[in-house]
Structure 1
Amino acid sequence: MSTRAFQRIQHQANLLSKAPRIIGANRGFATMAITTDTKNYKFNHSMLRVKDPKASVKFYEFLGMTLIKRLQFPEAKFDLYFLAYDSPKALSHGNSTFDREGVIELTHNYGTEDDANFTVNNGNKEPHRGFGHLCIAVDNIAAACNRIEQEGYKFQKKLTDGRMRHIAFALDPDGYWVEIVSLKISTKGADDPNEPTEASATDPKTYRMNHTMIRVKDAEKSIKFYTETLGMELFRTVKQSAAGFNLYFLGYPGTKGVPESGFTADYEGLLELTWNYGTEKDENFKYHDGNSQPQGFGHICISVDNIDAACERFEGLNANWKKRLTDGRMKNVAFLLDPDGYWVEVVQNERFADKENF
């Protein structure tokens, strides 16, 4: 593969040929009867590029996650690390890698750990804002934050900073923001009155990888894409009119169903869309997708019951493709583009195929 293609695609797409950005082009499909049901879909993972995988894996393991899979691609000089909550108390305990939600995929390109000048784009600095943060929900937020601080990790916002005393933002080794919220948090955004305000005990095995936040230019277009094209449901809307932005939390109901009264803290696999008022009216406004330079966030990923049928459905909906299933050498992954150009990977859920993807 050419150096140009390698630099352009990254992650698994390092193995792919360039794919044009085409809407609604035809492609051949198997003639066998195949079906897909979005009720079976899962928001599987969010991918971040990291400088030093040892430091990053250590951080997320400290937050209670387990390294559930490692994929090595030495010929393309990168490795992938998949982490998730997998204790007996976890929602997806024992499930295969792509039959779960709340997974974090870390992509390491060889040599970055030895480059003193290498840094990733964390998505929160102008002019390269786009991806915002990951979020974990914890049993005791004061104790959890105290534990993280005692380990020597830094914070973008401590629990006691500012007016919002019910959330904190830790920083991972690359400077990505990790929001920390309480599993007991109310829909109004206030601490549960029964939760101790002083740090006491916390059990990382009870934590949830709750959501991934990305900023979007046009909330209406983005919500339509994630609900109508990807089959998610809008679980909760938080309007902050005085501050000029809204938050939208979407996800797949799965076996848990739609959360009552918007209570989403104990869920995994949620997508938070942040919309700042007025951006949709600015023709020149654009968020950074994380895959053009400077790189950082790579993509989100959904796993589906039948990848051929799912991709045929997306084709019928005139979805915008980065890579069709038939493009390139890797025939087991596809990439859609959302209205802001963020990449959405599509993979097969192994539970429905009865075989591993990789």
Structure 2
Amino acid sequence: MAATTDTKNYKFNHTMLRVKDPKESVKFYSFLGLSLLRTLPFPDAKFDLYFLGYDSPRAASAGRSLWDREGLIELTHNYGTESDPAYTINNGNAEPHRGFGHVCVSVDHLQAACARLEAAGYRFQKKLSDGRMRHIAFALDPDGYWVEIVGQKGVKETEGVEETDVGVYRMNHTMLRVKDAEKSLAFYQDVLGMTLVRTSENEKAGFNLYFLGYGAKPAGGEGTADREGLLELTWNYGTEKDENFAYHDGNKEPQGFGHICISVDDLDAACDRLEGLKVNWKKRLTDGRMKNVAFVLDPDGYWVEIVQNERFSNKHSI
């Protein structure tokens, strides 16, 4: 019987970020409550990978194997960057290299969570008290990546709440800017099998937000802040009409964000399906020495890694 694949089994497994100093980056994300689940050293290639995710007993993916999770962060460290004063990371939010926007953590008590970060000496791109939007903040990790902080649904925000429990935090979403919303939505829904769970139209500001993920759409399209492993696409009106407009994919210089990753039930069958859908490949399974990972390109050229979820097979991707 030929191998088959079902997008209902797919998961938005992780987001990869390059980092200058892994000790400082792991410290920051650990302070946000993520656990270091696995370290993969590649000394011959002179880089290491660090996989972090929420793993407390109340975490959504607690105790699962690495590729059977959603909402992970993969930190990539290329040897020597930590001691190079000239090395900097492209955080994806500065012109002319915009593309990747941020990752987002949802928390129990928004004010207490932000106060805890500030007391620990971490910087903010936007505090709760800045601007008109008082229900979101953006912290900065050691490399200047933006980390959005939002409150989970049903939590009544009260002045003076001083306690926050990182054990209930979620790695909620990853934001990517897209040139053509129609093309990107078709790719992530029809090709990768995601569901559009919420749309936020902001006509006066000239942009829309689209939240996609695997699994059922929540009732009324709400409750997304309680989820993990969502993808937020940001479309600024009119970019699709400019043939010269393009976002930075994070892998050209200056580098920063690397890719998002989807884990699948059967890697060979999933790649055969993608081949049949005539996707643009960055790396097929048969390319190079690593025969257990593939990369496709989304309409903006962002890399999407495809790996095997070991729950469905004894095969392992890395």
1:336 maps to 296
Does residue 41 in structure 1 map to residue 10 in structure 2?
yes
Q: Is contact 2:106-2:150 (8 Å) kept?
A: yes
C-alpha RMSD over aligned residues: 0.9
Does residue 125 in structure 1 map to residue 94 in structure 2?
yes
Matches within 5 A, 1:319-358: 319-358=279-318
Structure 1, residues 109-156: CA drift from partner, whole Å, max 9, x if none?
Answer: 000000011100000000000000000000000000000000000000
Matches within 5 A, 1:86-165: 86-165=55-134
Does residue 213 in structure 1 map to residue 175 in structure 2?
yes
Q: Is contact 2:15-2:74 (8 Å) kept?
A: yes
Does residue 183 in structure 1 map to residue 152 in structure 2?
yes
1:264 maps to 224
Q: Is contact 1:210-1:267 (8 Å) kept?
A: yes
- 1-side partners of 2:70 and 2:218: how far apart? 16
1:228 maps to 190
Q: Is contact 2:179-2:235 (8 Å) kept?
A: yes
Q: Which amino acid in structure 2 is aligned with residue 274 of structure 1?
A: T
- 2-side partners of 1:197 and 1:347: how far apart? 44
Report the alpha carbon displacement of residue 199 of structure 1 after superposing the two structures with TM: 3.5
Q: Is contact 1:246-1:276 (8 Å) kept?
A: yes
Structure 1, residues 283-316: CA drift from partner, whole Å, max 9, x if none?
Answer: 0000000000000000000000000000000000
2:210 maps to 248
Does residue 293 in structure 1 map to residue 253 in structure 2?
yes
Q: Is contact 2:10-2:262 (8 Å) kept?
A: yes
Q: Which amino acid in structure 1 is aligned with residue 263 of structure 2?
A: S
**SS of equivalent residue, structure 1 residue 70:** strand
Q: Is contact 2:111-2:157 (8 Å) kept?
A: no
Report the alpha carbon displacement of residue 230 of structure 1 after superposing the two structures with TM: 0.2
2:199 maps to 237
Q: Is contact 1:212-1:271 (8 Å) kept?
A: yes
Q: Which amino acid in structure 1 is aligned with residue 162 of structure 2?
A: S
**SS of equivalent residue, structure 1 residue 80:** strand
Q: Which runs of 4+ in 1 moved over 6 A?
A: none
1:62 maps to 31
Q: Which amino acid in structure 1 is aligned with residue 30 of structure 2?
A: E
1:83 maps to 52
Give aligned pairs, total: 317
Q: Which amino acid in structure 2 is aligned with residue 357 of structure 1?
A: S
Does residue 172 in structure 1 map to residue 141 in structure 2?
yes
Q: Is contact 2:293-2:317 (8 Å) kept?
A: no
- 1-side partners of 2:220 and 2:36: how far apart? 33
Q: Which amino acid in structure 1 is aligned with residue 100 of structure 2?
A: F
Q: Which amino acid in structure 1 is aligned with residue 311 of structure 2?
A: R
- 1-side partners of 2:106 and 2:3: how far apart? 38
- 2-side partners of 1:176 and 1:195: how far apart? 26
**SS of equivalent residue, structure 2 residue 67:** coil
TM-score by length of 2: 0.98
- 2-side partners of 1:156 and 1:198: how far apart? 23
Does residue 311 in structure 1 map to residue 252 in structure 2?
no
Report the alpha carbon displacement of residue 354 of structure 1 after superposing the two structures with TM: 2.8
Q: Which amino acid in structure 1 is aligned with residue 122 of structure 2?
A: Y
Q: Is contact 1:237-1:248 (8 Å) kept?
A: yes
**SS of equivalent residue, structure 1 residue 335:** strand
- 2-side partners of 1:307 and 1:46: how far apart? 19
- 2-side partners of 1:157 and 1:297: how far apart? 20
Report the alpha carbon displacement of residue 356 of structure 1 after superposing the two structures with TM: 3.7
List gaps (5 residues or longer) in structure 2: none
Report the alpha carbon displacement of residue 355 of structure 1 after superposing the two structures with TM: 4.7
Q: Which amino acid in structure 2 is aligned with residue 249 of structure 1?
A: F
Report the alpha carbon displacement of residue 259 of structure 1 after superposing the two structures with TM: 1.3
**SS of equivalent residue, structure 1 residue 265:** helix
**SS of equivalent residue, structure 2 residue 129:** coil
Q: Which amino acid in structure 2 is aligned with residue 87 of structure 1?
A: S
Q: Which amino acid in structure 1 is aligned with residue 208 of structure 2?
A: N
Q: Structure 1 vs Structure 2: percent identity of aligned residues?
A: 73
Q: Which amino acid in structure 2 is aligned with residue 351 of structure 1?
A: R
Report the alpha carbon displacement of residue 200 of structure 1 after superposing the two structures with TM: 1.8
1:7 maps to none
Q: Which amino acid in structure 2 is aligned with residue 204 of structure 1?
A: V
- 1-side partners of 2:289 and 2:315: how far apart? 19
